Amino acid sequence: MIKSILAATAVLAATQAGATITLDGNYESDYGTGVAVAHDDAAPNSNFSAPSATTEGPGYTVYFKGQNGAVWVLFQATGAIGGNNFANLYVDIDPNAPAGPSSGSDMIIGVNGNGSAYAADFDTFAQHPLSGITVASTATSLEFRIPNSVFSMPISGFNYFGAAAPGVGDLIRLRATQSLGYTYVGGASFGADRLGSTTLAGAVPEPAAWALMIGGFGLAGGAMRRRRTLVAA
């Protein structure tokens, strides 16, 4: 029994150890398929009442993935980003909620290439500084890691309009974005998942934690064997 548990835990540890996106501004297969947004010189600017399917900035593909206690976001542009090294995400934290006040986007998350980040609601639009978001960028990409707590822990003074805080295993959706340019991109033309849907994933234990866990099972097994020997004697 203990041997089976040890073997299964070792396999799980090896599997999980390789299941973490690296924050380096580059695409990795764990992201899966992204959503492409094409460049269009005629795309509107600050068009919040009518989202666009194209952007006046460089075209890009956006990836939105929950993994290892965080949501990872990558904007991979088709050309140089230049001074537009920023992203504004319009996130629905309870997309399965029935129609009502919390339908649609529930929060705005703004991230700059310099690492600064904020959250805003749709009541006052006041910016609440965020910590814990890490950023990496290249000449043609912007990537960042948002801890699950940004979505699951209520922000003081924030109006969620009744939206339920998501937990591990719950779905969240990137409904729209204003990133790498000033066009507000989104809308039904992208389909039900809009610019990406993902579930919040739990944190994967560090390799040292797995080693302690496996070692603990081994000690428990040894103690059980010794106890059986003593009883038999």
2-53, pLDDT tens digit by residue?
555 444 444 444 444 445 899 999 999 999 999 999 999 999 999 999 999 9
Helix, strand, or coil (residue 9) = helix
Give the neighbor-by-neighbor strand order of the sheet with 134-138: 54-55, 35-39, 60-67, 70-77, 141-147, 134-138
Cα–Cα distance, 44 to 24 (Å, whole number) = 31
224/86: higher pLDDT:
86
Q: What are phi and psi of 22, to 5 degrees?
A: -95, 130
Residues 151 and 180 in one domain: yes
pLDDT recorded at residue 99: 75
Q: What is the mean pLDDT of residues 217-233?
A: 55
Q: Percentage of the chain surpassing pLDDT 90?
A: 75
Domain containing 34 equals: 21-203
The answer to whether residues 166 and 33 touch, using CB atoms and an 8 Å cutoff, is no
pLDDT recorded at residue 227: 59
pLDDT recorded at residue 134: 98
Residues 51 and 63 in one domain: yes
**Could you tell me which residues come within 8 angstroms of residue 228 by beta carbon, excluding any fewer than 6 positions away?**
none
Residues 162 and 222 in one domain: no
Residues 178 and 219 in one domain: no
pLDDT recorded at residue 201: 97
Residues 51 and 95 in one domain: yes
Residues 210 and 186 in one domain: no
Q: What is the mean pLDDT of residues 221-227?
A: 57
Residues 121 and 217 in one domain: no
CATH code of residue 152: 2.60.40
Cα–Cα distance, 48 to 201 (Å, whole number) = 31
Q: C-alpha angle 76/35/58, rounded to 5°?
A: 45
The answer to whether residues 149 and 71 touch, using CB atoms and an 8 Å cutoff, is no
Residues 223 and 110 in one domain: no
Residues 68 and 162 in one domain: yes
DSSP character at residue 44:
-
Q: What is the mean pLDDT of residues 119-143?
A: 96
| DSSP string for residues in 91-124 | EES-TTSPSSTT-S--EEEEEETTS-EEEE-SSS
Residues 15 and 94 in one domain: no
Q: Within 13 Å, how many C-alpha atoms sit on residue 208's CB side?
A: 0
The predicted-structure confidence for 39-97, as pLDDT tens digits, reads as follows 999 999 999 999 999 999 999 999 999 999 999 999 999 999 999 999 999 999 999 98
Q: How many domains does the chain have?
A: 2
DSSP character at residue 164:
P
Residues 105 and 188 in one domain: yes
Residue 217 has pLDDT above 60, yes or no: no
Residue 208 has pLDDT above 60, yes or no: no
Strand-strand pairing, 54-55 and 60-67: unpaired
Cα–Cα distance, 63 to 174 (Å, whole number) = 10
Residues 1 and 47 in one domain: no
The predicted-structure confidence for 137-191, as pLDDT tens digits, reads as follows 999 999 999 999 999 999 999 999 999 999 999 999 999 999 999 999 999 999 9
pLDDT recorded at residue 233: 55
